[in-house]
Amino acid sequence: ERAKAILGALGEELMVDDENLVDMATALSGTGPTYVFLLMEALVDAGVHLGFSRRVAEELVLRTVEGSALFARKSGRHLAELRNMVTSPGGTSAAAIYQLEKGALRTVLSKAVYAAYQRTRELGAEAERRTEERP
CB 44 within 8 A of CB 61: yes
Burial of 126 (0-12, 13-18, 19+ CB in 10 A): exposed
CA distance 71 to 74: 5
CB 29 within 8 A of CB 6: yes
- Comparing CA positions, the residue from 123, 109, 120, 111 lying closest to residue 38 is 109
* Number of neighbours of residue 22 by Cβ within 10 angstroms: 18
pLDDT tens, residue order, the chain (135 aa) = 344 444 444 456 666 667 778 899 889 988 999 999 999 999 999 999 999 999 999 999 999 999 999 999 999 999 999 999 999 999 999 999 999 999 999 999 999 999 999 999 999 899 888 888 877
Q: What is the pTM of this model?
A: 0.83
* Domains of the chain and CATH, by start: 20-133 (1.10.3730.10)
The set of residues, in sequence order, having a beta carbon less than 8 Å from that of 73 and lying 6+ positions away, is none
